[in-house]
Structure 1
Amino acid sequence: MNLIDKNLLLDQNQEDRAQSIRDSLRDAIIDRRLGPGSKLAEAEVGALFDVSRTVVRSALQMLAYEGLVRIERNRGAFVSNPTPEEARQVFDTRRLIEPGIVRAATVRISKADIEDLRDHLILEDRFMNERGPAARRAEIKASGDFHLKIARHSGNAILEKFMDELVARSSLVIALYGRTGVSRCGHSEHRDLLDAMERGDADRACALMLHHIDHIEADLDLREVAAMTLKDALAT
């Protein structure tokens, strides 16, 4: 192997490791194990994964591109802390995108795809009936995964990738602004939506998806809060 080939192999290995770190951090953010505003120190991440800061920086840049991490000059990287307006934009975008995904999936969905989604609903029910923080995180992730599965069954890889980012951003918004601490991604609404898709009723499925997104957003408290001084904030 010549020097050029060795360098190419080294670059590929670093890229693979950066992707692996990105995936691990992304899962922790989506699962709400890393909350909005959490600092992601390059040195600490590098030590945990036994990689150089260069590899860590590459992973953080991937997450920044997806909107899950913000990088501040001279301060470092932090899990994104979306504003109320950014949160509204996430759900406005979902209202524009997901009905089209549902329509495409309804046209081409197979019996096996329907069974796959029904099996997933059983998994959601199981997490919903369990207690504790771990079960709660699993329930929220499973709810998001239901939407990703529909995107996968649409047959449009670009829309699937876009939905992956939107669901991740939604998880951040829910972590920050959710009133109840759950996704409110109602299981009965998932079933109604799937029933309409199985019947081939694309119009009904699209209407149910819009109602469903409204339901999720309704659980968020997106009111603007005026900044207070420390004295006022701690006053009885």
Structure 2
Amino acid sequence: MKPQRSADTAESLDQTVYDALFNGVMHGRLKPGTRLQEAALCEQFSVSRTVVRQALRRLSEVQIVDIVANKGAAVATPSPKETRDVFAARRAIEGAIVREVARRIEHGDIEKLKQRLRAEHDALHDQDHPRWVALAGGFHLALAELSGNQVLQRMLTELMTRCSLIVALYEAPGEASCEHDEHARLVELLSLRDSNGAAEEMDKHLLALEARLQIPA
């Protein structure tokens, strides 16, 4: 049984490193191009190189990390084409998500979304940009959870992480990656169970988000 416990422990440590790096990208603490030195990560998390390499390999599989032979790992840097592809995928997936949310949403769900909107507003008022970025991204993931479709939820989680890299790379100075008023309009339409209106609003919202970025031609 000892080898099994050892394997379980290694897997748990691997997940700890994976989650920390994943969340670092998601919340903008790790910027595109940031080198991820194995030795430094081993020291930071008190784990072996085997554990670190496994976590980095898994992150590379979801395109969060680039691993180059003889150069090591770095946070991925999305290209302009990939950026446009990611937004096209988000529009398709999030359109499907809000249609499903509009069909099944309940009063309690609306109240929870409104609480999120108030938290966004407070973060903006307090000029707490990191907290606001996390809340704005969390709004989209909360909608995915309300859809009840775990496949769409997993797909959006991956795309949202790619978008965190994209915003860090291409966001124009002074621009907001998500507009609070656009989220408020989505909640209003969902409260009316207006699936077509919510899907159209989400499409406009994501197009506007993409337009606010400075993406090279």
1:69–1:78 contact (8 Å) kept in structure 2: yes
Q: Which runs of 5+ in 1 are unaligned?
A: 225-236
For 2:175 and 2:137, the matched residues in 1 are separated by 11
User: TM-score scaled to structure 1, two decimals?
Assistant: 0.89
Q: Is residue 2:52 matched to residue 1:59?
A: no
Task: Look up the SS of the partner of 1:82 in the other structure.
Answer: coil
Q: Is residue 2:132 matched to residue 1:139?
A: yes
In structure 2, which of residues 88, 96, 109 is the aligned counterpart of residue 113 of structure 1?
109
Give the partner amino acid of 1:63. Answer: L
Task: Look up the SS of the partner of 1:26 in the other structure.
Answer: helix
Q: Is residue 2:187 matched to residue 1:194?
A: yes
What is the aligned partner in structure 1 of residue 23 from structure 2? 27
1:175–1:181 contact (8 Å) kept in structure 2: no
What is the aligned partner in structure 1 of residue 79 from structure 2? 83
When structure 1 is superposed on structure 2, of 17-26 and 177-186 the one drifting more is: 177-186
Q: CA deviation at 1:223?
A: 1.7
Aligned residues between the structures: 217
**Cα RMSD over matched residues?**
1.1
- Structure whose CA Rg is larger: 1
For 2:174 and 2:27, the matched residues in 1 are separated by 12
What is the aligned partner in structure 1 of residue 171 from structure 2? 178
1:28–1:34 contact (8 Å) kept in structure 2: yes
Give the partner amino acid of 2:148. Answer: G
For 2:177 and 2:72, the matched residues in 1 are separated by 33
In structure 2, which of residues 200, 203, 210 is the aligned counterpart of residue 217 of structure 1?
210
Identical-residue share of aligned pairs (%): 37
When structure 1 is superposed on structure 2, of 146-155 and 110-119 the one drifting more is: 110-119
What is the aligned partner in structure 1 of residue 32 from structure 2? 36
Q: Indicate the structure whose relative CO is greater, using CA pairs within 8 Å and at least 6 residues apart.
A: 2
Give the partner amino acid of 2:83. Answer: A
Runs of 4+ residues deviating >6 angstroms: none
Q: Is residue 2:123 matched to residue 1:123?
A: no
Q: Which runs of 5+ in 2 are unaligned?
A: none
